[in-house]
């Protein structure tokens, strides 16, 4: 097992545990983007470190699919942006860690999201702000496929291309499910990469569970002459066999027995 | 008003290096001087107000002071959720500027009327709502908005509004400006209806009633010190605005009054009625259709 693969398994275990303990939904949405986040936080291309959390010239990761916050919370805790003990307060009354992140709830949480279609415009604004101030950093926006249905996402896509904001990289967690059905059937999302190309972006498609391929795509994006969209083909609920590609896990949270089975499958016991 | 805004903005951009102007594809030629003087501080964000508002939030999160600018319904209502989530939830110092507020663009039809915007934005936590009355107040309000710690909505008219203030008044967000003294009735005007309030005062004077006329430019936060005095000293207080009687200045004052019972004054609210206008006509015509004329307002005040 590679080191990055081990990190991803541990994160998935934590995410399933958080969903079980707090009985919160969106578990499968969180599991599908774990490898994307591992590539972003551990892959070496982006500089996302707690020591730089307040540095104006830092690279920024905007997590636009706020409903999958347990994935980002687990990542940030594992990268020591905040104490791991805080993670166990998730969704408890009064906790800083709500089901969907609030502004500045923990270091590393660049933007409070939850309503879809907000992350990309904000990320594009951050990249424009950096350029105005002569800062050369990168802004990575992790999006769901469902929020590619929001007009605001495409407004930002057109503006970023017009402005040549090559510092922006959008990673789309294309797990082909949204809340109540298959995303490419509910809306004509396909061909998704071609849409981004048509909007003036450098669009690439990768296996969204191949951390090395994701990290490599992030590396190549840094050299692109325009903003990059990485369409990451993923499986909703990835990593736990009985959750994979089963959209009931958009809303369901696991029982103690299901948590134990998941942990066993992930090689954590 | 918009010329005063563009001129003042061009000047302020030299003093405030963090200022960035985002336009929703409007202001043809208006910002030419700004663009020439500050080429890296102007961005036309296209006919895409949601995107523009999100971009403004991103700019603010990277330490800048963005201003979003386009026609009022589009810079407020079209992108209301972006204002709520991206700007207000994060409490960012973004100045939202609506040009052509109220019935300014009456002739363009109901899509371009903005008589609900104060209600929408006033309800958002942390949002200041400022309605300058004339070109002088536009300049002062813009300066104050850029110093304000949080989001501000500036609700402007269009162009050609008369100058009311012969001298620059002291302007503070949340502090009303008394324009004329009087004891019979206190007229609180929000925005470009201030000259109308002065005309009402002249009509009342002819009937032996002296009106105090106030530029009540800030609808949020309300100048509660002023309201406490006005409702204590006067028998009648009237709000005047080019905005629905639901949720605007009149609504805000009525809410305040409900929390402060025992006031002496009777409150009258003048604004647009709870219905759209479905006909052609310029601003003056639209005002007449909603009863926003000096004759009508004065007559109603005299009946109380």
User: Over the stretch B198-215, which tens digit does the pLDDT of each residue have?
Assistant: 999 999 999 999 999 999
Q: Using DSSP, state whether A217 is helix, strand or coil.
A: helix
Which tokens in the block code for residue A253?
A: 């949270």
The Cα of A242 is separated from the nearest Cα of chain B by a number of Å equal to: 36
pLDDT beyond 90 at B263: no
For residue B55, the chain A residues in CB contact (below 8 A) are 121-122, 124-125, 128, 156, 159
pLDDT in tens, chain A (269 residues): 599 999 999 999 999 999 999 999 999 999 999 999 999 999 999 999 999 999 999 999 999 999 999 999 999 999 999 999 999 999 999 999 999 999 999 999 999 999 999 999 999 999 999 999 999 999 999 999 999 999 999 999 999 999 999 999 999 999 999 999 999 999 999 999 999 999 999 999 999 999 999 999 999 999 999 999 999 999 999 999 999 999 999 999 999 999 999 999 999 98
Tell me how far apart the alpha carbons of residues B108 and B103 are, in angstroms, rounded to a whole number. 10
Residue B247 CA neighbour count, 13 Å, CB half? 13
State residue B27's pLDDT score. Answer: 86
State residue B261's pLDDT score. Answer: 86
For residue B52, the chain A residues in CB contact (below 8 A) are 121, 155, 159
Pairing of strands B236-244, A60-63: unpaired
Burial class (CB in 10 A: 0-12, 13-18, 19+), A40: buried
Based on C-alpha coordinates, what's the Rg of chain A?
17
Residue B247 φ/ψ, nearest 5 degrees: 85, 0
Q: How many helices (H) and strands (E) does chain A have?
A: 11, 7
- In B72-225, beta strands by DSSP E: 95-99, 128-130, 152-155, 177-180, 185-190, 211-215, 218-220
User: Over the stretch B140-160, which tens digit does the pLDDT of each residue have?
Assistant: 999 999 999 999 999 999 999
Chain A residue closest in CA terms to B40? A132
The Cα of A158 is separated from the nearest Cα of chain B by a number of Å equal to: 9
**Is the CB of A158 less than 8 angstroms away from the CB of B40?**
no
**Is the CB of A111 less than 8 angstroms away from the CB of B90?**
yes
Chain B residue closest in CA terms to A113? B85
Q: Using DSSP, state whether B72 is helix, strand or coil.
A: helix
**Tell me, what DSSP letter sits at residue B87?**
I
Q: Residues of B at the A interface (Cβ-Cβ below 8 Å)? A: 20, 40-41, 43, 45-46, 48, 50-64, 66, 81-82, 85-86, 89-91
For residue A159, the chain B residues in CB contact (below 8 A) are 45-46, 48, 51-52, 55
Tell me how far apart the alpha carbons of residues B179 and B200 are, in angstroms, rounded to a whole number. 13
Please say whether the beta carbons of A252 and A168 come within 8 A: no
Which tokens in the block code for residue B184?
A: 């019979």
Which residue matches tokens 């709000």?
B239
Tell me how far apart the alpha carbons of residues B206 and A236 are, in angstroms, rounded to a whole number. 76
**Tell me, what DSSP letter sits at residue B12?**
H
Contacts of B264 (CB under 8 A, 6+ apart): B231, B232, B233, B234, B235
pTM for the whole structure: 0.97
- In B116-171, beta strands by DSSP E: 128-130, 152-155
Please say whether the beta carbons of A45 and A215 come within 8 A: yes
Residue A255 φ/ψ, nearest 5 degrees: -80, 175
**Tell me, what DSSP letter sits at residue B24?**
S
The Cα of B29 is separated from the nearest Cα of chain A by a number of Å equal to: 21
Tell me how far apart the alpha carbons of residues B152 and B96 are, in angstroms, rounded to a whole number. 6
Query: CB A75: neighbour CB atoms within 10 A?
Result: 25
The Cα of B58 is separated from the nearest Cα of chain A by a number of Å equal to: 4
Q: Residues of A at the B interface (Cβ-Cβ below 8 Å)? A: 56, 102-103, 110-112, 114-115, 117-118, 120-130, 132-133, 135, 151-152, 155-156, 158-159, 162-163
Mark B144-163 as b/e (b = at least 16 C-beta within 10 Å): bbbebeebbbbbbbbeebee
The Cα of B228 is separated from the nearest Cα of chain A by a number of Å equal to: 36
Complex ipTM value: 0.97
């Amino acid at each position: 097992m590679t080191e990055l693969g081990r990190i991803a398994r541990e994160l998935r275990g934590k995410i399933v545990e958080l969903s079980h303990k707090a009985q919160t939904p969106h578990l499968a949405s969180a599991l599908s983007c774990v490898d994307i986040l591992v590539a972003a936080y551990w892959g070496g291309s982006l500089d996302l470190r707690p020591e730089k959390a307040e540095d104006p010239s830092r690279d920024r990761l905007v997590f636009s699919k706020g409903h999958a916050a347990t994935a980002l919370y687990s990542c940030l805790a594992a990268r020591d942006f905040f104490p791991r003990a805080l993670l166990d307060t998730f969704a408890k009354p009064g906790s800083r860690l709500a089901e969907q992140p609030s502004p500045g709830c923990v270091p590393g949480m660049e933007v409070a999201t939850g309503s879809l279609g907000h992350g990309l415009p904000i990320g594009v604004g951050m990249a424009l702000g950096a350029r105005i101030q002569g800062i050369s950093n990168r802004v990575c926006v992790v999006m769901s496929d469902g929020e590619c249905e929001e007009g605001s996402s495409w407004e930002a896509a057109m503006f970023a291309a017009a402005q040549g904001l090559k510092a922006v990289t959008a990673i789309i967690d294309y797990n082909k499910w949204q809340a109540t059905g298959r995303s490419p059937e509910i809306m004509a999302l396909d061909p998704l990469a071609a849409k981004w190309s048509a909007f003036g972006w450098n669009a690439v498609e990768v296996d969204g569970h191949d951390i090395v391929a994701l990290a490599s795509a992030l590396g190549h994006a840094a050299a692109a002459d325009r903003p990059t969209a990485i369409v990451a083909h993923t499986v909703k609920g990835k990593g736990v066999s009985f959750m994979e590609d089963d959209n009931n896990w958009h809303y369901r949270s696991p029982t103690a027995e299901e948590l134990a089975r998941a942990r066993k499958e992930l090689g954590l016991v | 008003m918009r010329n005063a805004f563009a001129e003042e903005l061009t000047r302020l951009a030299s003093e405030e290096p963090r200022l960035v102007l985002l336009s929703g594809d409007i202001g043809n030629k208006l910002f030419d001087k700004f663009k020439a003087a500050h080429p890296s501080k102007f961005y036309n964000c296209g006919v895409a107000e949601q995107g523009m508002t999100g971009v403004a939030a991103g700019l603010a999160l990277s330490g800048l002071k963005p201003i979003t600018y386009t026609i009022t319904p589009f810079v407020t209502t079209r992108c209301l959720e972006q204002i709520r989530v991206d700007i207000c939830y994060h409490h960012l110092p973004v100045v939202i500027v609506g040009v052509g507020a109220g019935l300014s663009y009456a002739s363009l039809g109901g899509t371009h009327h903005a008589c609900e915007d104060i209600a929408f934005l006033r309800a958002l936590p942390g949002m200041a709502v400022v309605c300058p009355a004339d070109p002088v107040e536009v300049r002062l309000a813009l300066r104050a908005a850029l110093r304000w710690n949080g989001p501000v909505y500036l609700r402007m008219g269009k162009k050609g509004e008369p100058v009311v203030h012969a001298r620059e008044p002291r302007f503070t967000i949340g502090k009303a400006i008394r324009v004329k003294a009087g004891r019979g009735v206190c007229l609180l005007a929000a925005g470009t209806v201030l000259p109308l309030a002065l005309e009402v005062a002249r009509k009342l004077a002819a009937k032996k009633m002296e009106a105090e006329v106030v530029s009540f430019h800030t609808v949020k936060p309300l100048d509660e010190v002023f309201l406490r005095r006005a409702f204590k000293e006067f028998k009648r207080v009237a709000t005047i605005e080019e905005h629905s009687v639901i949720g605007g200045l009149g609504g805000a004052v009525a809410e305040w009054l409900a929390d402060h019972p025992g006031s002496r004054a009777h409150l009258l609210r003048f604004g647009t009625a709870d219905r759209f206008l479905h006909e052609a006509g310029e601003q003056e015509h639209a005002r007449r259709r909603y009863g926003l004329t000096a004759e009508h307002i004065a007559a109603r005040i005299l009946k109380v």
